[in-house]
Amino acid sequence: MPERLRLVVSGATGRMGATLARLAAADEALTIVGGVDRDGSENGASGYPDIRSISDAEELIRSADAVVDFSAPEFLRSLLSEQSDALTGRAVVAGTTGLGAEEERLLDRAAERSPVLTAANFSVGVNVLMALVERAARALGPEYDVEIVEAHHRRKEDAPSGTALALGAAIASGREADLAAVRRDGRSGRPGARPTGEIGFHAVRGGSVVGEHEVMFIGDLDRVEIVHRASDRALFASGALRAARWLAGRPAGRYDMRQVLGLD
């Protein structure tokens, strides 16, 4: 690997793209070689020497060691399909949430030729939270009812958040259960008595909330609450850059933040 890791950011003109450029500029181990966005710009944007559209990004991607994506599912899908050859051998760090089966299939295909890391949330604290709730679920057992409450800004389009779903998956794993079989999204009307083992999800949207996640284990005699609140989206960008530094140069395959943080 070169002394300075060369990065391309997909979704460069978004809020996360701007934050990534700002943090990378202050990191002596990183350099931004350009960005990819819907409309390329000859002069680039703040923090980016050049920004290209997906169809015009091959040369830019080939000049990089890692590509960090915070865009949208359809944009990531186009990037992975149109620039699959250019991405070969480059670390791919994807933070886009709300991914469907087609995006996951393309990520699996990319992982045959490149190291690929995806995460619902790149916050170091949130990933520690995921490890904690899995252990708590294993220790407390299904006798404790579980409710997950997440809050985000009014512009967030998917619900429950990818992080909330990842927390639910961690809890289900701790209980050796299938999340799809025990998941319930909200309650309204007369849903009936709560079945044992159910994992409830509740989404709050409003204002400029960066991201809050609360996991409640509710027993007959006590309640255990584990909470994470983000105050600045730089938290997520910092974790993504840490992941890119760790991932670059590793063998092809799928990776996650637990491996980056040594939580496995």
153 is catalytic: no
Among candidate residues 152, 153, 213, 228, the one labeled active-site is 152
Among candidate residues 153, 156, 202, 213, the one labeled active-site is 156
DSSP secondary structure of 40-84? -BTT--TT-S-EE-GGG-HHHHHT-SEEEE-S-HHHHHHHHHHTH
Q: Do 124-230 and 5-118+234-261 have the same topology in CATH?
A: no
Q: What average pLDDT does the segment 14-19 reach? A: 91
pTM above 0.85, yes or no: no
- Residue range 89-126, pLDDT digits in tens: 999 999 998 899 999 999 999 999 999 999 988 999 99
E strand or H helix at 87: helix 84-87
Contact, 101 vs 44, CB < 8 A?
no
3-state SS class at 228: strand
Domain 124-230 has CATH 1.10.10.10: no
Instruction: State how far the Cα of 221 lies from the Cα of 214, in Å rounded to an integer.
Output: 20
Give the start-to-end residue ranges of the domains of the chain. 5-118+234-261, 124-230
- Residue range 144-191, pLDDT digits in tens: 999 999 999 999 988 999 899 999 999 999 999 999 999 999 999 999
152 is catalytic: yes
Class of domain 5-118+234-261: alpha beta
